[in-house]
A and B are shown apart, each in its own frame.
Chain A
Amino acid sequence: MKKIKVKLFGPLREKAKSDCIELTVSPPVTPGKILNLTGEVLNLTDDEKVLLRIASRERYLSQDEEIMENEIYLIPPVGGG
């Protein structure tokens, strides 16, 4: 099992009342597993989960790639501009 720190922003940070959560995930760690576990912890609806993306510190991760990092970013819809 691998411990992953998930950083939260915007509406997710507000919902969690924290800027991060820690998950214990069975390998291989994938964005899909992270989304499902986070969804359970934060009580997210399916409509909310489909809006989310996963990123490392450097880049967005694709849905099927294995996550090697110990810290990832959970990205709700962005609103820059």
Chain B
Amino acid sequence: MLKITSDPINVEELLRQVSAEDRGAIVLFVGTVRNRTGDKKVKYLTYEAEKEFAENILSQIVEKSLRKWPGVKVAVVHRIGENLHPGEITLVIATSSAHREEAYAANRFLLEEIKKDLPVWKKEVFIDGSYHWSGWNN
């Protein structure tokens, strides 16, 4: 399962996707909206993306991870949309393997690649009414 969605993420569904009797380890990364950036309180986030384009790039990121760790099962869902409030889940990466090392390594790799390349743009709107696009000088 690789998906960019505006719907809430069902973590258990991702767990099921990577579960199997030959899996001795499942690693789950759950990214959530933080309530503070620096000294500013976050009111909500907006994640913007073009779904099909982002899913194309996500597939390439996952393929790259599978070339490094061929035995790992992967499921990734990234949430997009407006008004994502502190505490809400925005990203889930589930990886599983026979032994824990591969599942941990692949999960970390996927997270860093997603942060570097997945075409999703984050707008943080603060309690004081100001806002900021992540990585942009505004």
Contact = CB atoms under 8 A, between A and B. Distances in A.
B57 interface: yes
B interface SS class: mixed
Contact of A80 (B50, B118, B123): B118
Given A57-B56, A59-B60, A77 B117 contact: no
Interface residues of A, number: 22
A79 B80 CA distance: 11
Contacts, number: 79
Which 4 A-B pairs have CB atoms at the shortest separation, nearest pair first? A77-B135, A79-B134, A79-B122, A10-B121
Contact of A60 (B111, B117, B121): B117
A24 to B, nearest CB: 24
B31 to A, nearest CB: 5
Nearest to A9: B121
